Structure 1
Amino acid sequence: MIRLILMTIVFLLLYGCSPDIEKEEVMLSSGVQYIGDNESMVQAFEKLPIHVKYSFVIDNSLEDYKLVIIEPHYIKHITKEKLIESIQDGFFIFFINLDDRNWIQEAYFDQIGYAEKKFDKVWTEHIYLHNGQLQSVTLSTNPDIENQLIKWLQYFDRYKEESL
């Protein structure tokens, strides 16, 4: 009986004193499709405990890579129809490092906006479907998103989990 009590105490001490995994290092999903060739982003991805598939288009056959991050100069390679198909298949689409917010509006929403190019800010734009129509949410970010990549991936991940 004493042995059982001692084992329980030792277990509780070990459990209570063991270091927690830091929240900022935990990802809910580990698969990302990165459509881009920004070397600093590639290096940032390689430092993280996640799996990344590098591509030029969205690959809907990659079921474990539902988080899709796209650099702006690949917009011309991805059609509106492909975006809709991918979102319907459960993919989460984010365009990053946009220095002109109008690129997405012009490419996928047939809207022409005024030039709002700023070099001290960049935008991240999330594309989603609402009532069968493409919609977007724009977030202002710092130009060094690759230095805060884990935080952004956690944000994307939380959004994905909340929307399921």
Structure 2
Amino acid sequence: MNTPDPHDDELPPALRQALRGLPRERQPGRLLEERTVRALRESGLVQAAPPRGIRRLPMAWLGGAVAASVALFASGVAVGQWMGGRTTAQVVSAVQARNDQQTALLVQQTGTAYIQALHQLAARDSAGAADPQGREVATHLFRAAAGQMVRIAPNDAVAGAVMASNPRQDTAAAHRAHQQVLWF
């Protein structure tokens, strides 16, 4: 890519030939590069590069990284609470269902035992061995059970009829009726 120079005509042909044979570019030596960089640093035009392995992040990047970390942590806490709350609700529901089943089983077992005890009491009464205390206890328990049924199911006709047919006797009121009051 030897372009003709307009001043080449003024040179002798031998010199012109020698100039055309010279390389157009030359690689500078390593020493020249180091001296140039040192001179630029001393004049303040170039700053020294940080040591390898240490990178300095701009403050905007650092602030963004901190904000992203806080957002990630907060979202993790929120998701954890949501998952924990959902799991807790499921556990509480399962425990309540189990408690309801256990309560129903206990009521059934107790009712069966009460009916068996009444059957034995009736068998003793029919055999002529009347037990007034047993009758009183059975009546009191029957009324208490009917009262609890009225609390559980206020519109239940059977429990209401039991309560109406078996009036409650207040023992304290009966005791006061038998007391004698002396006025001075």
TM-score norm. by structure 1 comes to 0.26
Greater C-alpha radius of gyration: 2
Larger relative contact order (CA 8 Å, sep ≥ 6): 1
> Per residue, is there more strand in 1 or in 2?
1
> Per residue, is there more helix in 1 or in 2?
2
